[in-house]
Amino acid sequence: MNIYDMIEINPEVMLGKPIIKGTRIPVDLIIRKLGEGASFNDLLDAYPKLSIDAIRAALIYAADAIRNETTIFLKTGTSN
């Protein structure tokens, strides 16, 4: 299965946030919990509808979203 088949964006669910397909679990929640120190097993215990593949799909989705960002640096203020 393609990881993008596991991610769904539907304006009728969670205000259109990317979620794990077939759940109401947002991708950002998974990333946040992992960043706070939760393990894959912690997430699987807390959210029985999750799978390891779904967690990995969320990570890849987030990485792809960041990779495609454009950063524009603006010089502000005065320099001496």
Q: Could you tell me the CA-to-CA distances from 18 to 10, 11, 24, 25, 61 in Å, in that order?
A: 8, 10, 9, 9, 9
The predicted pLDDT at position 70 comes to 85
Per cent of the chain over pLDDT 70 is 95
Are the C-beta atoms of residues 6 and 53 closer than 8 Å to each other? yes
Q: Does the residue 37 lie in any domain?
A: yes
CATH number of the domain that 27 lies in? 1.10.10.10
Give the tens place of pLDDT for each residue, 45-55.
Answer: 999 999 999 99
Q: Does the residue 9 lie in any domain?
A: yes
Give the tens place of pLDDT for each residue, 54-80.
Answer: 999 999 999 999 998 888 888 887 665
Number of domains in the chain: 1
Residue 25: domain span: 3-67
Give the tens place of pLDDT for each residue, 10-52.
Answer: 999 999 999 999 999 999 999 999 999 999 999 999 999 999 9
Record the pTM.
0.82
Q: Does the residue 14 lie in any domain?
A: yes
Q: Does the residue 76 lie in any domain?
A: no
Q: Does the residue 74 lie in any domain?
A: no
Q: Does the residue 75 lie in any domain?
A: no
